[in-house]
Chains A and B, each alone.
Chain A
Amino acid sequence: MSGMLGLGFMQKAFLAGAIISIVLSLMSFFVVLRGMSFIGVGIAHSALGGIALGVLAGVDPRWTAIVFCVAVANLITYTSRKGALQEDAVIGIFFSLTMAAGIILIGLSKAYSVDLFGYLFGNILAVSNEDLWLAAGVGLLVLASAGVFFKELLMDSFDRELALASGIPVKSLDHLMASLIALTVVISVKLVGIVLASALLVIPGATALRLTARWQRMLGISLVAALLATFGGLSLAYFFDLAPGASIAVVSSALFFLSFLRKS
């Protein structure tokens, strides 16, 4: 164990893992309670388009991913409210469109050094100091925003009509949630990649909801589940030489299935 933690890149991996676990666990709480799992998946996959734009334009892809993802998240929210289309159809369309566009753009850029696999499945052992600062800064922003509007988000998740009747601006809350999910995904990409970030937006909250009927405990359990998954997955990856992002997702899912051992 001390061997693993003595390595600089593993220290950074654990630190990055801790930061995004905290953020993912809170977002996952709301994603599960608001039934936004599929929106989360859609937003996560659009990150590839944003990354590709950055690569093509020669700009830091992290920043283009943030702008692009937040924009797509709000567009999905807006379109599914305005359009006659079902929300899940809207998400399905944006999801495949932005991802396909990303792959075409990356192909066009002829930059053979682009680590497509890394963006999809994460590359936590290559976390840089800059990545850490970005995760910490954006993570704090997400936590603070969700914290400030916590009681409104909770009530709106429970009963939208009631929230409306209390004068809570529910449309704005939808856009806020979509934007926060987008930001969370972007800072999670380096650790677990796009594909698995969307899984971690759901699993810790879903595990917690299986184990308790009180939101305070659900928050706590979601946090513990995310941290366990991240640290457990990273350790497994280190000792057995596995893909870290995938290991994290597997441990996370294992915890979810373990939660079924408790009779509900």
Chain B
Amino acid sequence: MNGEAGRVVELRDVLVRYDGNVVLEDIDFDLSAGEIVAVVGPNGGGKSTLLKVILGIKNIEKGTVRVLGKPPSEARNDMGFLPQISTYKRSFPVTVLDVVLMGMYGRLGLFRRPKRREREKAMDTLGQVDMAQLASRPFKDLSGGQQQRVGIARALVSEPRLLLLDEPSTGVDVVAQESFYRLLEKFRGEKGISVVIVSHDVGMIAPVVDRVALLNRNIHYYGEPTGALAPAMLEKAFGAHVRLLVHDEHCLTCSRR
């Protein structure tokens, strides 16, 4: 069952605990080359944990994880990661360009510093998210949405085959979100990159992805986006949380908080 052609991520029967509490259970999850999928669920549902398992920075208690047919720790240089906002230190003295360069540290390895080639690549990637003009600005002076875009550039700069984005649209305005999804499409088309996007909001994300996974400790649904939007499905997966998850304008009973 392993090594199926084009399989980028493969999780089988994964169990994860934090301090004894089960956070993820019976997780089967896979992703093919060039696929863009969304992982949706309520707060504490285990979305960020799932990304950390794929990255190999959270240990699993049971099951198997493969990325590009290898253990995650051996596939790190093929993954680009955007952490959920707020994990970095606010007043840290780095410029926008410094932050993007950090996306190449793993590839560079020990003892090698970013040189001109890396700088050019970083500037190029900043251009793709429309942030090149702010390259030399202190990162902390940017707005939240601008910081997210820089984070996306940092995740993309090493030309990963798998992109893991934890709530990339937090604080990003609608126009920027659309251009961001177009950017993902472009990368998929040109480089066959695969993407996992974590989101709170099924309504927003469903139209732009190939598949949706509904995650709340278990994966309750993984398939066509339309299927994930069915109220009965959402109710089953999330119970009372449904209202928080759907901001679709066609949903009459749901309101924007």
Interface of A toward B, CB cutoff 8 Å: 33, 35, 148-149, 151-152, 154-155, 157-162, 164-168, 209, 212-215, 217-218
Q: A35-B89, A151-B113, A217-B93 are in contact. List 16 more A-B contacts (CB 8 A).
A: A149-B110, A151-B108, A152-B110, A157-B89, A158-B92, A158-B99, A161-B87, A162-B102, A164-B55, A165-B57, A165-B81, A167-B76, A213-B93, A214-B93, A214-B138, A218-B93
Q: Across the two chains, which residue of chain B brings its CB closest to A166? A: B106
Contact with A along B192-221 (1 / 0, CB 8 A): 000000000000000000000000000000
Which residues on the B side are within 8 Å of A155 (C-beta)? 102, 105
A217 contact set on B, CB distance < 8 A = 93
- A164 to chain B: which residues have CB within 8 Å? 55, 57
Q: Mark B102-115, 1 if CB is under 8 A from A, else 0.
A: 10011010110110
CB-based A-B contact count at 8 angstroms: 76
- A209-B138 Cα distance, complex, nearest whole Å: 13
| B89 & A212 in contact (Cβ 8 Å cutoff) | no
Nearest to A35 among chain B residues (CB) is B89
CB-defined contacts of A162 to chain B, threshold 8 Å: 81, 83, 87-88, 102
Q: A148-B111, A165-B76, A165-B79 are in contact. Are A158 and B57 (CB under 8 A)?
A: no
Given the interface contacts A151-B113, A164-B57, A168-B105, does A157 sit within 8 Å of B92 by beta carbon? yes
A-B contacts, 10 of them at CB < 8 A, read: A151-B105, A151-B114, A152-B110, A157-B89, A159-B83, A161-B83, A165-B79, A168-B105, A168-B106, A213-B138
Contact of A166 among B76, B87, B89 (CB under 8 A): B76
Per-residue contact bits, chain B 45-86, to A (CB 8 Å; 1 contact, 0 not): 000000010010100000000000000010011010101000
Give Cα A154 to B92, complex, Å.
Answer: 10
The interface residues of chain A, by DSSP majority, are classed as: helix
Q: Which of A148, A151, A159, A161 contacts B57 (CB 8 A)?
A: A161
Task: Give chain A nearest CB distance to B94 CB in angstroms.
Answer: 6
Q: Is B98 an interface residue (CB 8 A)?
A: yes
Assess the B106–A214 pair: CB atoms within 8 A.
no
Contact B106 A159 (CB under 8 A): no
Tell me if B141 is interfacial: C-beta within 8 Å of chain A: yes
Q: Chain A residues near B73 (CB, 8 Å)? A: 167
B119 lies within 8 A of chain A by Cβ: no
Are A215 and B94 within 8 A (Cβ)? yes
Q: Is B95 close to A, CB under 8 A?
A: yes
B residues in contact (CB < 8 Å) with A: 52, 55, 57, 73, 76-77, 79, 81, 83, 87-89, 91-95, 98-99, 102, 105-106, 108, 110-111, 113-114, 138, 140-141
Q: A147 to chain B: closest CB distance in Å? A: 11
Q: A148-B111, A151-B113, A165-B81 are in contact. Are A158 and B105 (CB under 8 A)?
A: no
Q: Are B76 and A215 in contact (CB under 8 A)?
A: no
Shortest beta-carbon distance, B119 to chain A, in Å? 14
Contact of B98 among A168, A212, A215 (CB under 8 A): A215
A-B complex: 9 closest residue pairs judged by Cβ atoms: A166-B106, A213-B138, A159-B88, A164-B57, A165-B81, A167-B76, A215-B93, A161-B83, A165-B55
The CA of A158 and the CA of B95, in the complex, are separated in Å by: 12
**Bound CA–CA A209/B140 (angstroms):** 13
Which of B57, B76, B83 has the most chain A CB within a 10 Å cutoff?
B57
Interface centre among A151, A157, A165, A213 (most CB of B within 10 A): A165
A161: B residues at CB distance < 8 A: 52, 57, 81, 83, 87
CB distance from B63 to the nearest CB of A (A): 20
Cα A221 to Cα B209 with chains together (Å): 49
Contacts of A167 in B (CB 8 A): 73, 76-77, 106
Question: Which chain B residues border A215 with CB–CB below 8 Å?
Answer: 93-94, 98
With A151-B113, A159-B83 already in contact, the answer to whether A166 and B93 are too (CB < 8 A) is no
